[in-house]
């Protein structure tokens, strides 16, 4: 059997219907073929994905993971098992345009020696709006898809070879050896921001990511992520953003930015608790400043008793604040879980940070001079916090941190 030159790895978890469209579009583009294998990692699906692929796409190589490993570990599982020299990653909720693979692989083959990854262009499912063109990093490790949701007619695309901070994990190519040698996607991320983390890691080692606008796919944005649930996604994004910051910002700049990063995270967590948790208004009570000092609240009830007490309080007209905040409300719980996970994982993050620093050849300031991280008020309360003199005093005065509105970064539905 001849060894393929390219392995297209598609991860799927209960995404049979998406996968049917994706694999059909690959077949129309001519893949798999003698020199290109298509590898589907079945990430613990229960919707008949395995039997469907075997019956309808017998030339596709199926790798059963046995359980839902998550996106980052699932990609590693597929990458390690792939046979091609070039690794191509593609989301299962996409369909590729004609010539997609040739454009992506040719761009990698013809790139300068320092280019480790090539990332393609992603359009909305109907082909009218931007899904992915570029990555915008924020000062605290979050990231946005620049111009997401804007009509294509309103966005000027960049030429082939334009530099990017990071590849997009849903449409990218790397040499398999390079991907694995530099750690691939961090398994602990599970999903979200793993590609940004990889891009920062590569850049800190003097390796670049380039853009290829002719490698086009269309994407059902959010179709796969929605299965996780909004609050589980929020948990992953918050913990992974902190991990991205902690692991990839060098010692000098990390120390300078850390107070602002921590204050932002805690401020957002408090606001979420106060505004979304039943009884969250109790957090705003200062028993030594307020005119009417409240009595010390009793220990909150749990489980059924908690629900019964709150139901009785509502019946009697007792304010929620007197019952104390319900920390089990979904949004509040996701934020507190992220905070807990950050604290628990800090020793692991520190080990990874030290390894990154050992391999670093490019200072973070030099990287940020090319790709400035932004201040983007995103959560309730951000605008007030970011505008305060006290917060601005926490930021390094010699670091360019563009202040952008969310509308500068992306479009909103209906606009």
Confidence of residue 76 (pLDDT cuts 50, 70, 90): very high
Number of C-alpha atoms within 13 angstroms, CB side, residue 147? 19
For the chain, give the number of residues: 415
Q: Which domains does the chain have, with CATH numbers?
A: 6-228 (3.90.550.10), 230-273+329-409 (no CATH)
∠ CA(375), CA(132), CA(155), 5° rounding?
85
Decide: 394 and 260 in contact? Cβ < 8 Å.
yes
Q: What's residue 223's pLDDT? A: 65
Q: Which of 97, 396, 362, 100 shows the shortest CA–CA distance to 256?
A: 396
| Rounded Cα–Cα distance for residues 66 and 101 (Å) | 29
> What pLDDT band is residue 1 in, cutting at 50, 70 and 90?
very low
Q: What is the pLDDT of residue 319?
A: 56
Cα 108 to chain centroid distance, Å, stands at 24
| Burial bucket for residue 136 (CB in 10 Å: 0-12, 13-18, 19+) | buried
**Average pLDDT, rounded, for the chain:** 91
Distance CA 72, CA 201 (A): 15
- Mean pLDDT for the stretch of residues 9-34: 96
Angstrom distances, CA of residue 61 to CA of 38, 102, 267: 6, 20, 48
Q: Which run of H or of E encompasses 7?
A: strand 6-12
Q: Tell me the pLDDT tens digit for each residue of 276-327.
A: 888 888 888 887 886 665 555 554 444 544 555 455 445 545 455 555 677 7
Q: What are phi and psi of 283, to 5 degrees?
A: -65, -25
For the segment 107-157, what is each residue's pLDDT rounded down to a tens digit?
999 999 999 999 999 999 999 999 999 999 999 999 999 999 999 999 999
Quote the CA–CA distance of 363 and 378 in Å, as a whole number: 28
What are 209-238's pLDDT values in tens digits?
999 999 999 999 876 666 678 999 999 999
Q: In this structure, what DSSP letter does residue 183 have?
A: T
Whole-number pLDDT of residue 318: 47
- Per the CB < 8 A criterion, the answer to whether 191 and 241 are in contact is no
């Amino acid at each position: 059997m001849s060894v393929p030159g390219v392995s297209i790895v598609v991860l799927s978890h209960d995404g049979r219907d998406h996968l049917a469209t994706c694999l059909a579009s690959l077949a129309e583009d001519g893949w798999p073929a003698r020199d290109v294998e298509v590898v589907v990692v079945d990430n613990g699906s229960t919707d008949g994905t395995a039997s469907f692929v075997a019956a309808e796409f017998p030339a596709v190589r199926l790798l059963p993971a046995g359980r839902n490993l998550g996106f980052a570990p699932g990609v590693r599982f597929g990458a390690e098992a792939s046979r091609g020299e070039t690794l191509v990653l593609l989301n299962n909720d996409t369909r590729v345009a004609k010539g997609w693979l040739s454009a992506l692989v040719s761009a990698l083959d013809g790139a300068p020696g320092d280019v480790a990854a090539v990332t393609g262009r992603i359009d909305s499912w109907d082909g009218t709006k931007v899904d992915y063109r570029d990555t915008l990093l924020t000062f605290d490790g979050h990231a946005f898809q620049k111009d997401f949701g804007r009509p294509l007619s309103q966005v000027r695309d960049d030429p082939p070879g334009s530099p990017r901070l990071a590849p997009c994990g849903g449409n990218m190519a790397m040499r398999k050896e390079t991907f694995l040698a530099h750690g691939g996607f961090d398994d602990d991320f599970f999903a979200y921001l793993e590609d940004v983390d990889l891009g920062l890691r590569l850049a800190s080692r003097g390796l670049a990511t380039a853009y290829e606008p002719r490698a086009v796919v269309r994407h059902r944005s959010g179709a796969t992520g929605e299965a996780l649930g909004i609050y589980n996604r929020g948990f992953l994004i918050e913990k992974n953003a902190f991990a991205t910051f902690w692991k990839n910002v060098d010692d000098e700049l990390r120390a300078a930015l850390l107070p602002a990063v921590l204050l932002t995270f805690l401020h957002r967590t408090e606001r979420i608790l106060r505004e979304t948790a039943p009884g969250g208004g109790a957090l705003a009570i200062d028993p030594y400043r307020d005119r009417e000092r409240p009595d010390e609240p009793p220990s909150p009830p749990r489980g059924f008793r908690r629900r019964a007490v709150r139901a009785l309080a509502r019946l009697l007209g007792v304010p929620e604040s007197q019952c104390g905040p319900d920390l089990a409300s979904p949004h509040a719980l996701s934020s507190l879980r992220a905070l807990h996970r950050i604290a628990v994982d800090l020793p692991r993050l520190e080990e990874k940070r030290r390894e990154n620093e050992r391999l670093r050849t490019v200072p973070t300031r030099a990287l940020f001079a090319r790709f400035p991280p932004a201040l983007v008020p995103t959560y309730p309360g951000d605008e007030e916090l970011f505008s305060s003199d006290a917060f601005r005093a926490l930021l390094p005065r010699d670091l360019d941190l563009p202040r952008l509105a969310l509308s500068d970064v992306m479009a909103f539905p209906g606009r």
